[in-house]
Amino acid sequence: MSENTSIRTTAGRGRLYSNVLDTIGDTPIIRINTIPTHGATIYVKAEAFNPAGSIKDRLAVNIIEAAERSGALKPGQTVVEATSGNTGIGLAMVCAQKGYPLVVTMADSFSVERRRLMRMLGAKVILTPRALKGFGMYQKAVALSKAHGWFLASQFETEANADIHEATTAREIMADFDGSRLDYVVTGYGTGGTVSGLGRVLRKERPETKIILTEPANAQLIGSGHAQERDTTNAPTASHPAFEPHPIQGWTPDFIPAVLQEAIDNAYYDDLIPIAGADGIQGAKDLAQKEGIFTGISGGSTFAVALKVAETAPEGSVILCMLPDTGERYLSTPLFDGIAEDMDASEVEISKSTPDAQMD
């Protein structure tokens, strides 16, 4: 418990921001205090502090700005992308700020709040049948870009993805742990941009830090050892045979992305630990209810793996766990199963403990 003898004060950020995009990154790394961590110290990097609420804000701004720098994206040109949500929300923010129309393709199995958020930010959301999985929404985005001459953001193949994690996410970890012990970094993968970007920097500058990668227990694409079929542009040509639908939205599409392949080919991870969706949901609930840290299912899953790492790690180990987004994005998903709208028996009892303003 910290000493609590006077009111908290703050000093401002010491600058005025010229636009919302300049607020991306520099997310806080926060220590876990109440949840038992088996003799380790666990920190989480809370990506919900990004302006559109997830780690994908970083990728979104860099995809657009790298394309502006190269001339691949022309002023006013429409941007199109297949995304399960966070990339779409990030792109919608960036495109709104910079004045590009955005079209997102998305399987209808993803949470409805994500669609509405993107539409709120001015994007068009084109739903694709869930039976066609991630591959179907990807094919739709490619087809639309070819048919209309739109700029395809290509988060699963573009160099702009891992580059921004190398230039920002990894640099923040290096700076915040400067002079401090860091034994493990734990992350999952969607595109693989986070792990590939972190791997480039940590392998060179903090080789003693072990990188732990995780994937859903029922969709162990890397764990299966089965290579991904690709075409000459590095894009997948078929759904991966080890894929099964899983509840960890934003993780593990039904193919091994080219961006992730870099981490596999360069051995950017020291261990691969699968996690069941139910354990990830419990991890997110524990973070919310015992630490006051609100994250999504992928953050809860990464945290559950960090706890597993802590169980076998040497006493006193320091572990950093990536939390990609906020739990608020999951109101209509299994994360909120058991979180009731109506009063339960204990709440009714509290209500009845005084005679005022009672429900019928």
Rank residues 41 and 277 by Cβ distance to ligand PMP and give the closer one: 277
Rank residues 32 and 300 by Cβ distance to ligand PMP and give the closer one: 300
Which residue's C-beta sits nearest to ligand PMP? 250
Question: Is 146 marked active-site?
Answer: no
The active-site residue, picked from 111, 145, 196, 298, is 298
Rank residues 67 and 198 by Cβ distance to ligand PMP and give the closer one: 198
- What does the alpha-carbon distance between residue 105 and residue 142 come to, in Å, rounded to a whole number? 10
- What does the alpha-carbon distance between residue 31 and residue 13 come to, in Å, rounded to a whole number? 22
Q: Would you say 200 and 166 are in contact if contact means Cβ atoms under 8 Å apart?
A: yes
- Cα distances (angstroms) measured from residue 261 to each of 77, 80, 88, 189, 326: 30, 23, 22, 11, 27
CB of 266 to ligand PMP, least distance (A): 15
- What does the alpha-carbon distance between residue 229 and residue 50 come to, in Å, rounded to a whole number? 34
Adjacency order of strands within the sheet including 151-152: 124-128, 102-107, 79-82, 151-152
Rank residues 112 and 343 by Cβ distance to ligand PMP and give the closer one: 112
Rank residues 41 and 257 by Cβ distance to ligand PMP and give the closer one: 257
CB of 332 to ligand PMP, least distance (A): 15
From the centroid of its chain, how far is CA 321? 12
- What does the alpha-carbon distance between residue 129 and residue 52 come to, in Å, rounded to a whole number? 26
CB of 136 to ligand PMP, least distance (A): 17
Q: Which residues bind ligand PMP (CB under 6 A)?
A: 54-56, 86, 188-194, 249-251, 296, 298, 324-325
- What does the alpha-carbon distance between residue 311 and residue 88 come to, in Å, rounded to a whole number? 36
CB of 54 to ligand PMP, least distance (A): 6
Which two structure tokens, joined as six digits, stand for 150? 């739109």
Q: Beta strands 41-46 and 29-31: pairing type?
A: antiparallel
Q: Which residues contact 70 (CB under 8 A, 6 or more apart)?
A: none
The active-site residue, picked from 45, 54, 56, 84, is 56
Question: Is 56 marked active-site?
Answer: yes
CB of 39 to ligand PMP, least distance (A): 28
Catalytic residue numbers read: 56, 298
